[in-house]
Amino acid sequence: MGYYIEVERGVKLYVEDIGEGIPVLMVHGWPLDHRMYEYQAALLPACGYRCIQVDLRGFGKSDRPWHGYNYDRLADDLLAVMQALQLNQVRLIGFSMGGAVVTRYMSRHRGFGVNQLILIGAATPRFTPTSDFPYGTPVTEVDKLIKQAYTDRPQLVTSFGEMLFANPVSQSLRDWLRDQGFAATVHSMACTLYSLRDSDLRADLPCIHVPTWILHGKLDRVCPFPLAVQTQKGIAGSKLIPFERSGHGVFYEALPEFNSILLSILAPSSTP
């Protein structure tokens, strides 16, 4: 079932809500939308989970306001969804930029309603390096992406899709993911790139006090594996699960292994 939830006056997010049982809230990455979790959404309801997928503002079928693309506002949007659906005991999942958004949610809203966190190829704790954080994508490279968003967005989306995987995948799959990027707006893509470039989540990590798993491809070219190592160090008791032969798109590239691990994590008795 798909519907819209108003997260602030005049701004509604699109939500897919499938199945019954333990709620699993899934947040997509840049510049994709809820459809990236298609192969998880086809599995989880059959295993007793309520699979809730949300399109962040400016992406997919959600509204495209001019404002609100920083992590604080995106985290507030998730809170509005949680409250509207009266969710609790939620398994919260975030991929790539979505991993950064759910991390900010856990800090900013003290993990309201969440009892388990899963970060997949997350853009945490920083996407870009600083003098005291030598990991990630150089600021100059992100600036090039922002410029390209305003000058040749189709090529930007296509080029990004080519970085998702470390191994060959079908052209049809690449086209499908590219079409998700095309559903976003120039403005939302550029503004969230600024958020990726400038946000620092190192102080957010110690605020996470629920069981946390970090799933990350060792061959990730978008969010290099050292980011996962630093994220694991910052979240007390968290567990890092590496996928040795996968790149950024581990949710598809290691599909059978990924889904099996995901189900084992979601099991009620699972602990890191």
Domains and CATH numbers, the chain: 2-266 (3.40.50.1820)
Q: Judging by DSSP bridges, how do beta strands 11-18 and 2-8 pair with one another?
A: antiparallel
pTM above 0.95, yes or no: yes
Q: Which residues are part of the catalytic machinery?
A: 96, 220, 248
pLDDT tens per residue, range 101-143: 999 999 999 999 999 999 999 999 999 999 999 999 999 999 9
Under 8 Å between Cβ of 196 and 138: no
pLDDT tens per residue, range 13-67: 999 999 999 999 999 999 999 999 999 999 999 999 999 999 999 999 999 999 9
